[in-house]
A and B are shown apart, each in its own frame.
Chain A
Amino acid sequence: KAGVTQTPRYLIKTRGQQVTLSCSPISGHRSVSWYQQTPGQGLQFLFEYFSETQRNKGNFPGRFSGRQFSNSRSEMNVSTLELGDSALYLCASSLTGASYEQYFGPGTRLTVT
Chain B
Amino acid sequence: DQQVKQNSPSLSVQEGRISILNCDYTNSMFDYFLWYKKYPAEGPTFLISISSIKDKNEDGRFTVFLNKSAKHLSLHIVPSQPGDSAVYFCAARLLSGNTPLVFGKGTRLSVIA
Contact with A along B59-88 (1 / 0, CB 8 A): 000000000000000000000000000000
Interface residues on A, range: 20 to 34
Q: A41 vs B5: C-alpha distance in the bound complex, in angstroms?
A: 11
Contact call A98/B103, Cβ cutoff below 8 A:
no
Q: Does A26 contact B (CB under 8 A)?
A: no
Interface SS of chain B:
loop
Question: B residues 91-113 with Cβ under 8 Å of A?
Answer: 91, 93-94, 97-106
Contact call A106/B104, Cβ cutoff below 8 A:
no
Contact call A41/B100, Cβ cutoff below 8 A:
no
> How distant is B110 from chain A, measured CB to nearest CB, in Å?
16
Q: What are the residues of chain A within 8 A of B91 when measuring CB–CB?
A: 43
CB nearest to A55 among chain B residues: B98
> How distant is A96 from chain B, measured CB to nearest CB, in Å?
9
Partner among B42, B97, B103 whose Cβ is within 8 Å of the Cβ of A43 = B103
Q: A113 vs B77: C-alpha distance in the bound complex, in angstroms?
A: 40
Q: What are the residues of chain A within 8 A of B99 when measuring CB–CB?
A: 56, 98-99
Partner among B43, B98, B105 whose Cβ is within 8 Å of the Cβ of A92 = B43
Other 10 A-B pairs with CB < 8 A, given A45-B101, A92-B43, A107-B41: A42-B103, A43-B44, A43-B106, A44-B103, A45-B102, A45-B103, A50-B98, A58-B100, A101-B34, A106-B43
